[in-house]
A and B are shown apart, each in its own frame.
Chain A
Amino acid sequence: MRLELRDVHHVYAAGTPFEVAALRGVSLTVEPGEVLGIVGGTGSGKSTLVRHMNLLLLPAGGEVLVDGVDATTLKKSELRRRVGLVFQFPEAALFAPTVDEDVAFAPRRLGLDEDEVRERVRESLGLLGVGDLAGRSPFALSGGEKRRVAIAGVLAMGPEVLVLDEPTAGLDPATRGELLDLIRHLREAGVAVVLVSHDLDEVAEVADRVCALHAGRVCAIGTPAEVFYRDPGLAPVTVRVASLLQESRPEIGEPVRFGETVAALSALSGV
């Protein structure tokens, strides 16, 4: 599916003295099967933005379109199955006595038969590398394991777009790397992923396109190179290193991913 936000506005506490315009005319698309990174400082509107992707928040102005159709005309349950939203620290919502029961909760509510539910639970836990935890209590798991079980719960709905809001915050480096592998894997399986993150190095590694927000507006959107080379001061480490070399060695181009950067810098004579 193709998800489009067209001139979306959002105002918190409208009509009160505490009124805050969180989004001021945001337009972007999530193309089928792509990884879209959303970056921006605290308070730039990232979390407000992604809550419009499945109409958890309704825009005060503008519209959300699914394959060109106004999303408000679709059944909400259908929209939320197709666009799965994983909040920050999603492990806080784990509730069932066992991991597999927790993950089975949402697909069961879709009215699937029990064999199909079992299959989806097995598949989702497997994708996240936590299949062996199925019978355990979610509350006895480590932080990284809980996070993965919570993501599996959303994945089990079979979304076409998976929105992850700061999925790696507070995780150890190896677990962070495993979640990035999962994102690559989902892309191969045709699932579009929206990755909200303040870790620019991590966005650089997996995003096909990047959208930078500032004060509720899109200040840059495009390929990672287009966005990150605009302001190398707040860019991933790879871009910062390459930008410092660019002036005297323009032939290195604009590498972003780690592998691309190594290749570009190795090509400099003598390194």
Chain B
Amino acid sequence: MQNPGTGTRPGGSFAVSCEELTFSYPGSKERALSGISFELRPGEYVGLVGPNGGGKSTLVRLLNGLLRPESGSVRVSGHDPATEPFEVRKHLGVLFQNPENGLVAPFVEDDVAFGLENLGVPREEMRARVAQAIRGVGLEGYERREPHTLSGGEKQRVALAGLLAVEPEILVLDEPTSMLDAAGRREVLEHLEVLRSRKTVLHVTHHLEELLNADRVLVLNGGELVADESPERLLADPELLRENRLILPVVPRLALALGLRANFKTPEELAGTILTGAGSGTRSG
């Protein structure tokens, strides 16, 4: 496990902490992020949503050191991504939108090992960690498959295994399902659900239905952090949703239209309640 002695560093007791974080792209008069402050506590599963151009991708790039803040600070497990990017990448892994862009090696197992090779991990240890990561995403037997022969969902799981092999305690998921079909999306989400008990997760998405089980949801709009709410409270606030170009997922939207409460997560839950209600007269929640 990671060194617990990071508590003395600034932001050290948090997995991620941002304070008054501000950033503008060169040549742009508008700020991509202005004065963002928030923390992720170890083990939390936090959603990040907001309109296109709201600042989500910029924030992800600041967290892993691809961009440097104009002012304010970022700490990832107590480290500053701007000055210690390689240290930060041991603690925080990013799963990007398009799995095609991340896969580089001829075989699945080499691809999963890529991050560890860059860290100079000894061969025996590497073999064990790669095997464990491949098991972690349910791809046993795929070790010698060529990545280009896999489906979109499988490719994204290979990319996820590559991150897991490095054993970061924080995962940032940047729209990990937006290029996948319905089956691939379900497959990736199921594996992420399994991981949440062991990781701190920041999940960026346009699909609120993926965040119904999150601990909190952050909303970025116009470079500002405009909300930090539980998913239940976000879904119950039509004005907040509208202002941030969000739309209620179909299951809760259907429930509301039928005069039920919005807090249904799956078609099964909603159908079950409708059947019970229809059999025994109206029941208000």
Contact = CB atoms under 8 A, between A and B. Distances in A.
B259 interface: yes
Contacts of B270: 241
A170 B178 CA distance: 6
A13 interface: no
Contact of B246 (A172, A249, A269): A172
Interface string B254-285: 10011110000001101110110111111000
A138 interface: no
A177 B270 CA distance: 24
Interface string B152-190: 110000000000000000000001001111111000000
A235 to B, nearest CB: 9
Top 3 A-B pairs ranked by shortest CB distance?
A142-B53, A174-B245, A244-B271
B210 to A, nearest CB: 12
Contact of B253 (A144, A244, A258, A269): A258
Given A41-B181, A245-B271, A262 B254 contact: yes
Contact of A268 (B50, B52, B247, B278): B278
B206 interface: yes
A262 B180 contact: no
B97 interface: yes
Contacts of B282: 270-271
Given A170-B175, A262-B258, A271-B282, 6 more contacts: A171-B52, A173-B208, A173-B246, A198-B180, A237-B254, A271-B258
A16 interface: no
B60 interface: no
15 contacts: A41-B181, A41-B184, A43-B152, A140-B28, A142-B51, A143-B53, A170-B206, A174-B246, A175-B52, A175-B245, A198-B182, A238-B250, A241-B270, A244-B268, A271-B260
Interface string A194-214: 000010110000000000000
A55 interface: no
B151 interface: yes
Interface in A219-239: 234, 236-238
Contact of B258 (A41, A234, A248, A265): A265
B251 interface: yes
A266 interface: yes
B262 to A, nearest CB: 14
Contacts of A261: 254
B281 A237 contact: no
A169 interface: yes
Interface residues of A, number: 40
A172 B278 contact: no
Interface string A35-50: 0000011110000000
A118 interface: no
A237 B250 contact: yes
A240 interface: yes
A169 B243 CA distance: 21
B247 A200 contact: no
Interface of A: 40-43, 140, 142-145, 169-177, 198, 200-201, 234, 236-238, 240-241, 244-245, 248-249, 258, 261-262, 265-266, 268-271
Interface string B183-215: 110000000000000000000001010000000
Interface residues of B, number: 45
A138 to B, nearest CB: 14
A258 B248 CA distance: 13
Contacts of A169: 178-179
A270 B250 contact: no
B182 to A, nearest CB: 6
Given A238-B254, A270-B277, A170 B53 contact: no
A269 B51 contact: no
A109 B251 CA distance: 47
A234 B53 CA distance: 32
B203 to A, nearest CB: 15
B224 to A, nearest CB: 15
A238 B255 CA distance: 11
Contacts of B274: 241, 245, 265, 268, 271
B61 to A, nearest CB: 15
Contacts of B268: 244
A271 B52 contact: no
A261 B279 CA distance: 19
Contacts of B277: 270-271
A42 B180 contact: yes
A174 B258 contact: no
Contacts of A269: 278
B97 A271 contact: no
A241 B272 CA distance: 9
B151 A42 contact: yes
B275 A248 contact: yes
Contacts of A144: 51-53
Given A173-B247, A237-B250, A258-B254, A41 B183 contact: yes
Contacts of B257: 258, 262
B52 A172 contact: yes
A145 B52 CA distance: 9
